[in-house]
Amino acid sequence: MGLFMQTLINGILIGGIFITIAVGFSISYGVMHIVDFAVGEWIMLGAFTAFWLNMYTNVDPLLLIPFIALFFALIGYLFQPVIQKVVNIKHRSAAMMALAFTFGLSTLIRGSALTLWGFNNRNLITVLSEKNVDLFGITVPAIRAGATVFSILVTAAFAYFLYRTKTGITIRAAAENKTVAGLMGIDGHRISRLVYSIYVGLTAMSGVFIGSIFSVFPDMGLRYTAFAFFVVVAGGMGSFSGAIVAGLMLGLISSFVSVYMGGAYVFLILFFILYLILVFFPKGILGKGW
Amino acid sequence: MFKKLPIRRAVVVLAISCLILSLTGCGGAKTGADAGNSASTEARDYYKVGVITSLSGAEVQGGNITKYGYDLWAETVNNKGGIKVGDKGYQVKLVYADDQSDPAAGANAVERMITSEKVDFILGPYTSGVTKAVAPILDKYKVPMITGSAESPSIWTQKFKYTFGSVPAADLTAISPLETLSKLPNPPKTVAVLGVNDAFSKAVAEAFKASAEKNGITVVKFDVVPAGTDFTPLISAIKQLNPDVLAVGGHENEHMEVIKASKSLGFMPKAFVMHYGITNPDFSKNLGKDADYTFGAAVWTPDLDLKDDLFGSAQDYVKAYKDKYNAIPDYTAAACSATGESFSAALAKIGAKPPLSDQQREELTKTLEQIEVNTFYGPIKFATDGNWYHDNVGLKALVIQMINGEQVIVGPEAMKAKDPVYPVPAFNVR
């Protein structure tokens, strides 16, 4: 029973890290219809920014999170028109070109990071690092618990924004049907820009947690690109609640398969489930994607 | 509606195929040069030496350690007038190819290097996986290569004719830490073994398991997991089994993650046993005191009493390395530097001046099989038959333990500088 509970908690904690990334990624996909391959690189840049700022200012990386979120939101806001330009090219497969563009962007960012900062592994130490909380005999790593709680709060705030504010409603309208939303007077470009900016900010912010749970190095984002795809496809493209459910599912599957079947089967089972979802629930597990 | 679905599918298919491409590395176009016509015809009075290693991707850290080792050899040999053939010295020029830590990309890169750069011989990859992918290409073009790093035993059982290795295979070295621990007055009774699914790490995990079973230690868990796995759930499960020792086959990144995850879950076995990677400077730098007392295996440490004409003593080598890279070399760096010495000795013996013809490369390969070179890293003599064909099997497997961020030899009995600390102090009382 102890092991079962521990595995359950671990699963939720692993999934918790993905939720924020998945939600941003999914909404940005829903609105812009662009799969951003650079998702892992935003995570990496967020983690590196926290590392450098922490080194020079000695402020705890967790306290730097609001600044990093704003800073990267600004970068996203300034950068989005470049991607938009690629999408708007009069070409039969503009979406594909945008995809190739973000793929190139991801390689470029990773390569530049490797050249600029070298291959060394860096440690991001926060006040929660390496501490743990004992909860009825279950050991909970403090930094992971912190990441999950933070992730839930941010996601809740984001949900409030999407469902209760006027801008949020226009975003959802644009995600649902850009053409009709456009006919209703919603400025698609402005919305895309806003959404991309929020997505980059959220993702870079998650990088701070990921960097302190694992470590900071130029290739650190790669595995999250794969996971982001899993979450978005499993949750239904563009679906907000689907992304949350799929994020948690990803964590729980990883955790239970690792413990009860063996770590060797984690990816096999994960992607087999993804296959089943694509075959039987092509709109995502909640049926809310498109 | 009907318009949306195909686009969505196309995006998914494209996304997945790009993802696969990104994970396996983007293979470059093959240069369609014909085999056997790889020897250089340009006139030059220096040796063009290919270096294939991981300069990007997951194994970029280790890849750069091999690069440092090879670079230091080239620099030292050039400063001393080059490789002496007859009465003239010839300079060495290194040409690099990046395998992106990916076997397929490595095979492409080495083929390009041979056919378009027309290198005389090759200093080999960091990882075993890339070495295994590159070896058939070398056999095709008949270009000799020595790797100063790859350690998977499965490279040598395939008997590649042109591939050599200066580090003994992992199944010869990884057995030593658990063997040493089993001979203590209070030996460990149980061990959990984790391994990452790459050629080297898997071989290490298997050797840990075999040596545990041989020495009467019960293996309570054995799990070989894909690279990129989150270790937290695995370690939770291991914590429940409460083994005396956790043995891990992996590289520095995984070793760090295992220790971090163990600490954050409050899991403290009587010892962590690992292999290569714990002597990587980042391991101690990032983990601090948590890195201490970790056991590992090595075939060379900076305090050994060895010397040669090129680098001087092992301590001179360490100094030269430290001056250049501000780090203490581990056995991989040392083996890579010493690897160049094998080529120098063989070239001097056959009197082959640059550029090498196909026939001279053939002779060079034969000579590598015959000669024994004594270096600051130890003797290099490649096996010419058996399961470790072309591997330098003669070196002693040392057991090391990290103490205050430095590697200390704690076994085998005849070589040890200190007694092993076992059980090790818990994280919070160091």
The whole-angstrom separation of Cα A278 and Cα B68 is: 47
Nearest to B14 among A99, A111, A223 (CB): A99
Asked if B345 and B268 sit in the same domain, the reply is no
> Any bridge partners for residue B271, and if so which?
B245
Range of the domain at A54: 2-280
Give the model's pLDDT for residue B37: 56
> Tokens 């080194």 sit at which residue?
A55
Contact B145, B163 (CB under 8 A): yes
Asked if B58 and B138 sit in the same domain, the reply is yes
Q: Look at B286 and A218 and tell me if their CB atoms are within 8 Å.
A: no
Does the residue B189 lie in any domain?
yes
| Mutant choice from B9, B24, B56 vs A, greatest count of A C-beta within 10 A | B56
Start-to-end Cα distance in chain A: 40
Average pLDDT, 10 consecutive residues per value, chain B (430 residues): 52 60 44 52 87 92 94 96 92 95 95 93 95 96 96 94 95 93 95 93 95 96 89 91 95 92 92 92 89 94 91 95 93 95 94 92 95 94 93 92 92 89 91
Contact residues for B18 (Cβ-Cβ < 8 A; gap 6+)? A37, A99, A100, A103
Range of the domain at B190: 172-298+397-429
Percent of chain A with pLDDT over 90: 39
Does the residue B21 lie in any domain?
no
Give the model's pLDDT for residue A127: 87
Does the residue A288 lie in any domain?
no
The torsion angle over the Cα atoms of residues B33, B35, B37 and B39, rounded to 10 degrees, is: 100
Q: How many domains does chain B have?
A: 2
DSSP chain A: -HHHHHHHHHHHHHHHHHHHHHHHHHHHHHHH----TTHHHHHHHHHHHHHHHHHHH---HHHHHHHHHHHHHHHHHHHHHHHHHHHHSS-TTHHHHHHHHHHHHHHHHHHHHHHHH-S--B----TTTT-EEEETTEEEEHHHHHHHHHHHHHHHHHHHHHHHSHHHHHHHHHHH-HHHHHHTT--HHHHHHHHHHHHHHHHHHHHHHHHHHS-B-TTTTHHHHHHHHHHHHHH-TT-HHHHHHHHHHHHHHHHHHHHHT-GGGHHHHHHHHHHHHHHH-TT-TTS---
pLDDT at A185 over 80: yes
Contact A170, A181 (CB under 8 A): yes
Asked if B281 and B200 sit in the same domain, the reply is yes
Asked if B198 and B279 sit in the same domain, the reply is yes
- Give the phi and the psi of residue B201 in degrees, each rounded to 5: -60, -40
Asked if B147 and B189 sit in the same domain, the reply is no
Instruction: Tell me what ipTM this predicted complex has.
Output: 0.84
HSE (side-chain half, CA atoms, 13 Å) at B185: 2
Q: Look at B264 and A237 and tell me if their CB atoms are within 8 Å.
A: no
Give the model's pLDDT for residue B38: 65
pLDDT at A231 over 70: yes
B285 min Cα distance to partner chain A (Å): 9
Q: Look at A99 and B15 and tell me if their CB atoms are within 8 Å.
A: yes
Which residues, numbered 159 to 198 in chain A, qualify as contacts with chain B under a Cβ-Cβ cut-off of 8 Å?
none
Please give the C-alpha separations between residue B139 and each of B159, B163, B324, B368, in angstroms, as whole numbers: 10, 8, 35, 15
Does the residue B256 lie in any domain?
yes
Does the residue A287 lie in any domain?
no
Q: Look at A229 and B23 and tell me if their CB atoms are within 8 Å.
A: no
Asked if B127 and B90 sit in the same domain, the reply is yes
Does the residue A96 lie in any domain?
yes
Number of neighbours of residue B86 by Cβ within 10 angstroms = 10
Contact A88, A97 (CB under 8 A): no
DSSP B296-327: EEES--TT---EETTTEEHHHHHHHHHHHHSS
> Any bridge partners for residue B92, and if so which?
B47
Scored b (16 or more CB within 10 A) or e, B50-76 reads bbbbbbbbbbbbbbbbbbbbbbbbbeb
Q: Which of A18, A78, A68 is nearest to A46 (CA)?
A: A68
Does the residue B209 lie in any domain?
yes
B169 min Cα distance to partner chain A (Å): 24
Q: If you measure CA to CA, which chain B residue comes closest to A2?
A: B240
Give the model's pLDDT for residue B26: 41
| Res. A95 pLDDT band, cuts 50 70 90 | confident
Cβ-count burial of A180 within 10 angstroms (0-12 exposed, 13-18 middle, 19+ buried)? exposed
- Residue B279: give its domain's CATH number: 3.40.50.2300
> Tokens 């937290």 sit at which residue?
B232
Number of H helices, E strands in chain B: 14, 17
pLDDT at A71 over 80: yes
A214 min Cα distance to partner chain B (Å): 6
Does the residue B353 lie in any domain?
yes
Asked if B318 and B358 sit in the same domain, the reply is yes
Asked if B283 and B408 sit in the same domain, the reply is yes
Interface contact A281, partner B, CB < 8 A = no
The whole-angstrom separation of Cα B419 and Cα B285 is: 24
Strands A138-141 vs A132-135: parallel, antiparallel or unpaired: antiparallel
User: Is the bond leading into B187 cis (omega within 30 degrees of zero)?
Assistant: no
Does the residue A289 lie in any domain?
no
Give the model's pLDDT for residue B290: 93
Start-to-end Cα distance in chain B: 65
Asked if B315 and B265 sit in the same domain, the reply is no
Asked if B55 and B128 sit in the same domain, the reply is yes
Does the residue B81 lie in any domain?
yes
Nearest to B265 among A33, A132, A255 (CB): A132
Contact residues for B171 (Cβ-Cβ < 8 A; gap 6+)? B153, B203, B206, B207, B210
Q: How many domains does chain A have?
A: 1
Give the model's pLDDT for residue A289: 67
> Tokens 């030899």 sit at which residue?
B409
Number of neighbours of residue A156 by Cβ within 10 angstroms = 10
Q: What is the pLDDT of residues A264-286, one digit of tens each?
A: 888 889 889 999 998 988 888 88
Contact B93, B360 (CB under 8 A): no
Contact A14, A250 (CB under 8 A): yes
What number of C-beta contacts closer than 8 Å exist between A and B? Answer: 140
Does the residue B286 lie in any domain?
yes
Contact B422, B271 (CB under 8 A): yes
Give the model's pLDDT for residue B428: 87
Asked if B63 and B185 sit in the same domain, the reply is no
Does the residue A286 lie in any domain?
no
Q: Which of A119, A158, A126 is nearest to A21 (CA)?
A: A158
Asked if B186 and B229 sit in the same domain, the reply is yes
